[in-house]
Amino acid sequence: MSADQSLQTTSMCEFGESVLPVLKKFRFAKKECSSAIILKIEKDDTIVIEDEMEDCSMEEVAEELPERTPRYVVYSYRWLHDDGRKSFPLCFILYLPEGCHPKANVLYTGSRNKIVDTLKLPKSFTVRDKESISEDWLKAELKK
């Protein structure tokens, strides 16, 4: 198998049966709190939901992420702006920790666009250190 074929194969992850309906419902939900869905790729290259979190901070989401294994996070952030406005940006976070297995790194990176494009997620970020995941980090990323 050539390097091009290998990369092409790794981007062929498929969504598990119940994943898309849950993510689409999440995308259009009218919630008044921050919430998250954590996704992982199973050994059969299927994207599945690992956890659903309601009324959670970025720091609480970070606590749920494994030390050395990548994850995807879809996060609806309840942002109270300095001028009193409220917004709910929908964010996609690719968590690629230092020291993760190179194959997992390629698999998660190669499948990222499929999720972002399928769900039409407007804000997409990559983070390597879960200790840096915080509300301050997210606000700084959203302001870029």
pTM of the predicted protein model: 0.88
- Digit-coded pLDDT (tens) for 34-65: 999 999 999 999 999 999 999 999 999 999 99
Domain ranges of the chain: 3-143
Q: How far apart are CA 67 and CA 46, in angstroms?
A: 21
Distance of CA 111 to CAs 1, 50, 67, 83, 115, Å? 19, 16, 20, 38, 7
pLDDT reported for residue 116: 92
Question: Domain 3-143 belongs to what architecture?
Answer: 3-Layer(aba) Sandwich (3.40)
Q: How far apart are CA 40 and CA 74, in angstroms?
A: 11
> Pairing between strand 14-15 and 46-54?
parallel
- Digit-coded pLDDT (tens) for 79-95: 988 898 999 999 999 99
Mean pLDDT of the chain: 89
Q: Does residue 4 have a pLDDT over 90?
A: no
Q: Does residue 1 have a pLDDT over 50?
A: no
